[in-house]
Structure 1
Amino acid sequence: MTQWEQIAFYVTFAGYFIAMVAYILYLPFSKQNFALFGRYAAITGLMANSAAILLRMAIAHRPPLANGYEFILTFAWGIVMVYLLIENRFKLSLGGAFVMPSAFFLFAFVVFFMSGNERVMTSIQPALKSNWLTFHVITAMMGYGALAVSFGIGILYLLKQRLEVRKPQGQLNARLPELQRLDYLGYKMIKLGFPLLTLCIITGAIWANYAWGTYWSWDPKETWSLVTWIIYAIYLHARLMYGWKGKRSAWLSVLGFLAVLFTFIGVNYLLTGLHSYA
């Protein structure tokens, strides 16, 4: 990691942390300045995140997709980019308290659990030298970003529903969006993320055939990617065919993103397979 990239990384880390805290403070205190400060901090972090990605690309002469550190750079970028677009489109500042922690904790994972050797810029492995990998990771980055936002909205829905029962006249409950609107937004995010996740798996299979001579080998990451896909497929099928909405849908969106996190991080560090280099 070069000096300038390191600076960009830690500016991102600080920006996402400040944004997370500001959005969380906006929940109980309802001060619009907190939401505004959180948005500006998130934008600053996103710009620094973009700089870190571009710096690594410029020096390595390749997409930043060769190891776990580089994947986290792109994963967090996708989460924050999609969230800011959704916040601007639907005026959902309260969602930042539940989405920004995902981006921050990805960077915190790098800071507290990744060794310096894991962040070192290395030559790309032969198995990674394919344009299909670029398509694979771009679809994953944007798809996971949309699914992270659906996770945040799902948590917000469950909180709102709990407040409706326990403190229906409370100030926080009055400020939260209506349950129907949250349910709809969560559905919209999964409608966006699921096709991208599908493309991610398809392009990954094509890349695997290019790299290892087989489209599918039941590698742990492939298996958990399929598990994640099935969870979101169940969500959409149950919603469209059986009218599942509300609490059950919210829990499925939460479960689905937990599977995403395990696929993205847990598999790399807890299981061994062809994707262990990531």
Structure 2
Amino acid sequence: MSLNILLFKLTLVAYAVATALYLFSAVANKKGMDRWGRFALMGAFALHTVTLIARYVEIGYTPVTNLHESLSFFAWALAGTFLVVDWKLRMVVLAATTCTIVLVMMLFGSLVPMHGQELNPALDSFWLPIHVALAFLGNAVFTVAFVAAIFYLLQERMLKSKKFSALYYRLPSLETLDMINYRCLTFGFPLMTMGIISGAVWADAAWGTYWSWDPKESWALITWFLYAALLHGRLTTGWRGRRAAIFAIIGFAFVLFTFLGVNLLLPGLHSYSSMNG
């Protein structure tokens, strides 16, 4: 077993511990337990960073060219993004949910073959880490917005029905959740935009055309327009609350399909060669 695969498995265990601590803290509502969950998540993220570095050293390029590597990189970006978002807000329920998503990505990443593969010459470019970093960070930010939107709608429903579960008393306010949604949009949209632009420049250098209407490119553009509409609505017509939350959830569904569905279901330049990576 190579070092990076061993580290990946240790990282998976570390995320499982962080998720368990956060879930226990959310369910039991025990003060102080969330602190241990935060420490565990920071430790898991640090170990994950070492894992990606070890993978890079072993294969010689940014590890995002197959399904295992992409899931791992997305999980790393999401964990790091949430740690930044949660630096001051300390949102246990959102942390437990985000950690669960990270853990699921890592579990799926462990179920597909983890071996490296020879890099396609067209991908051998300094644009690879730039484009990938921008795209995955944008996706990670939109994932946090998705989590906040889910809990916004749940809390709003409880307020309207006046039926309050234990979850209600563990959630941030509607204003805080809406603020997270908006802040994520203002950071995620520029990242997505720069990711698309860097991909177009890279495509011109690799294939001689900025845009070829490859399925990945087309769905990325559709997703961009959706988030552009949400940002426009936020800035010009005052979209807030429920409508913004619904758009954030729909947008995440498009992000997920662009990330996984297109790569696995639609043949194109960005497709994985197979489920075997």
TM-score by length of 1: 0.91
TM-superposition CA deviations, 1:207-243 (whole Å, max 9, x none): 1111111111111111111121112111111111111
Q: Offset at 1:261?
A: 1.3
Pairing 1:235–2:234 present: no
Contact persistence 1:95–1:153 (CA under 8 A): yes
Which residue of 155, 166, 174 maps to 1:179?
A: 174
Letter in 2 for 1:58: V
TM-score norm. by structure 2 comes to: 0.92
State how far apart, in whole Å, the 1-side matches of 2:161 and 2:14 are: 34
**1:164 maps to which of 159, 177, 181:** 159
Separation in 1, partners of 2:199, 2:220: 10
Spell out the pairing of 1:1-278 with structure 2 (5 A cutoff): 2-112=1-111, 114=112, 116=113, 119-167=114-162, 170-277=165-272
Structure 1 segments of 4+ aligned residues over 4 angstroms from their partners: 167-171
Q: Which amino acid aligns with 1:79?
A: L
Is residue 134–residue 192 contact of structure 2 (8 Å, CA) maintained in 1?
yes
| Structure 2 counterpart SS, 1:32 | coil
Offset from partner CA, 1:80-114 (integer Å, 9 cap, x none): 001011111322232112222221121122223x2
Structure 2 unaligned residues grouped into runs of 5+: none
Asked if structure 2 preserves the Cα contact closer than 8 Å seen for 1:72 and 1:107, the reply is yes
May I ask how many residue pairs the two structures share in their alignment?
A: 273
SS in 2 for 1:5: helix
Deviation at 1:165, TM superposition (A): 2.7
Rounded to whole Å, the distance in 2 between the matches of 1:21 and 1:167 is 30
Identical-residue share of aligned pairs (%): 37
Question: In the superposition, relative to structure 1, how do residues 155 and 23 fare at CA in structure 2: closer, same or farther (>3 Å)?
Answer: farther
Q: Gaps spanning 5+ residues in structure 1: where?
A: none
Query: Contact 1:228–1:260 at 8 Å: present in 2 too?
Result: yes
Distance 1:277 1:177 in 2: 39
Residue identity in the other structure for 2:221: L
**Equivalents in 2 of 1:171, 1:269: separation in Å?**
39
Alignment RMSD: 1.8
